[in-house]
Structure 1
Amino acid sequence: MTKQHDEENQGKRTKTAHGPAVREEKRRKWQVKQERQNHQNKRKRVEDHQDPVSSWCQENAGFATLVTEEDIDSIRNENKDGDQKGERSDRHEDLALHLAPFWDVQDLATDTANQVLTPTKTAANTKRLFIAEGTETVRILLQQQRQRLNSTSSAVELELAPIELKSIFVKPSVLLDEPVRLVTDVQAAMVDTISNGNAGVIKCNTMNDHQPKFHVLVGRSESVLSQVAGFPVKRGALACGVCPTDRTEAWLNDYISHKLSSSTDPLRILALDGICDTANLGSMIRTASVLGINVVVVSNNTCDVWYRRTIRVSMGHVFLVPVVRVQNLAIFLEKWKQTAVDRSLTSFAAVVQKDDDTVTLERMGSSSVPSAWCCVMGNEGNGISEKVIDVCTKRLRIDMTDGVDSLSVPIATGILLHGLREREKRD
């Protein structure tokens, strides 16, 4: 027992004797690691200073911010710890506000995805925002900002303001590199610009008041965008804009009245009754825009035009063709069927039933479609409601091969719109 006790004491003495040496070795390793990290951070800061994207953001600091992984971690940690919010720097405070609409957008429900408040969060300044994805979608929004500067016409067609852009969130290659190079569109959205001649990087003249009304967030990498959005951002660009409030039924009535009474140009309308799939809605809006439709009218029970999936599938065409929601589609069509103007609006209800009162595109001759027409498409499962069918001028179907009785709504829309355009009356 005495021998065992002596061995235990010897072990304790040995352990105690080695304790300071172990702590010293740990301290030495920690210092080496810190020096290495400081060296890497210093080298990264030098590289960032020489990096074209960092230089561009610094030169245009009034409206552009470079967002790093460290920024995201810091903001996320500050949001978790309420006590640290009071110590947040001005830069992080501004950055957090600009990033707010982009945080975890995938987790938002369908009916709340675009009901984001402005940073003031006051009732008077509450705005309904949307999130758009994709480089070409963002390009369309940027180009509309230039349209806002150049638009001086008072014509009815141009009374709708361009979609208001709040911010864009892009990766460096999308902003500066070919073939996308969105910086060109950022430049075009300003009145005064100059080139700094540095590797072709555009420098905006921030010494005057002609800065864009939107903010440019540049993620250091694609990973930064994905961390904020909550899903892999493969398209390299996001945008936040304000859902327009001027595409009203009152504007639509004035627009149609003007077109029917004072113009001989074609008036083409696509009306959607009860479309409930956001991807279908986006595809139909894109098809309408491509085929020269002047305006898309949606029933009150059609899904949200400004939902993220709708905008994504439309490839930005939702910004190019006005989309107007009406309270009662049947009443709207009835009004323009009976209106006393120079031209009337002929409405075609797309149906699948075969009967004597239904015509097919194949049986419609050339120049048989009036210059003012509306094609009505119905719900994916139930078609057009009976009340809407009853007020339409004609019923129209696609003549399909025996054994096939239906098409997807977006494909059927493209066939009918193209067919009606081909058969318009020509002066």
Structure 2
Amino acid sequence: MDDIRLPEYEANPLAWNSAWENLAASETPYTLSSTQSVLAVHRYGEPTESILKVYRGYWRYLCRLQYDLTVKATLAIAKGFEGQWLAATPTVRRNHHLEGHIRVAIAGFESFRELCGDITLASLERNSGKGFLELLGVYILNDLSTLPTTPVTFPYNGMSQGIPLSSDIDIWHALAVLDRNMYICFFLDYTLNSWANAPRPRPKALSKTSASEDLDPQMMKIIKSTVGRSSFKEAKQELRQCQKDDWPRHKQVCGKKMTPQTARNIAIAPQKNASENLDISQLQIGLAIGGYKRSPALVSQAYLLNLHPDIDYFVTDSSGEFNKMTMKDAPSIQKPLRAVRDKAMTTGDRTVVAVLGEFLVVMGIKTRLNSGDKLTRESVMNQLVLEYGEGIRKDIHVLEVISYNDTPGMTQLVNMMMGKEVCDVSALPTNWETLESNFQKRKTLRN
């Protein structure tokens, strides 16, 4: 890497990117191979405890990075980012991809790109821009109430090369995998920043003081060759912060020989909260259960509700701004609403989700928007589709048809409060065709 002269991105971003893609295509399989790991042992020797501290610091940093990326990505998706991205021209998307790579270089992590030979402009533009969205989806966490304790990894070219947990002898390969995924997460984050017209990061300045304190020669050699001199100061600071934050857990193994397993065990400090503004003692929405996978938009909804325990739901207007919906003035409705909402967001139960959706379609359009505009039924429905999937349209329709003979605006949530049975949307009633026909006729008359 140090012997290869690349074009300058300021002068010709496309030529610079092309040179990097060619270099990474040859370097990635070699660097991530078992042969390279053997050569690393020959070059640097067996990993010392200081190297394991670097491994611990990188592990911890990547967990935090992926948490922050999930917050940014899910909030953007909830505001309609995916549709806007796919509607953009290939040239516009390409320019944001280039800018994302450039910003990673400015931040001082350019050398990590040699581990990302499969992250090319062609792969990102695959299926008319879906390649980027699919890569972003790899790193979106299912919950934001706590920091992850194990970072997500994206295998190279479909190979099962995740972080080695069962085999701890190849620490050099484990560090390379962390470097690879750190670059990809930085790239995704900076591409989103570019899309949002955020300013470029400031260039990393070299430390004017000696960075050799507390670090043995082997660790200095490997860090400089792996992360580059511009990131050396940050790596050292990360280690010192880890020692401070992790002391309550580290003292349990203090004096004992550190292993990759113990390094990971003490990588994440005890969490009072994941977000600076999030009080985990007042969480409204808990972890998803039963294997339920939340959509990015629903992850964002849960995050916002946990930040604001006094709010019952957030609805978005045409500009993508989040607006607060609360039933605090109707406690008899608020209590069952929250019970249904919490179950829908933690289990994904189809009928419960439909009950929540029907209520939001009726009541969501009555929410007072910050802009002064009015929500429409279709805008609320589009938000619910983003959060719960396209099938919610049909399920809400089923509930509306079945309860259409009730008082106009009556929803299954109110029926629940009155002790009435809620219809299972996965099994249509035997007289469904008659109900549907009557619904359409009466709907036409009312309109």
Q: Greater relative contact order: 1 or 2 (C-alpha under 8 angstroms, separation 6 or more)?
A: 2
TM-score normalized by the length of structure 1: 0.26
Could you tell me the TM-score, scaled by structure 2's length? 0.25
More helix by share: 2
Q: Which has the larger radius of gyration?
A: 1
* Larger strand fraction of residues: 1
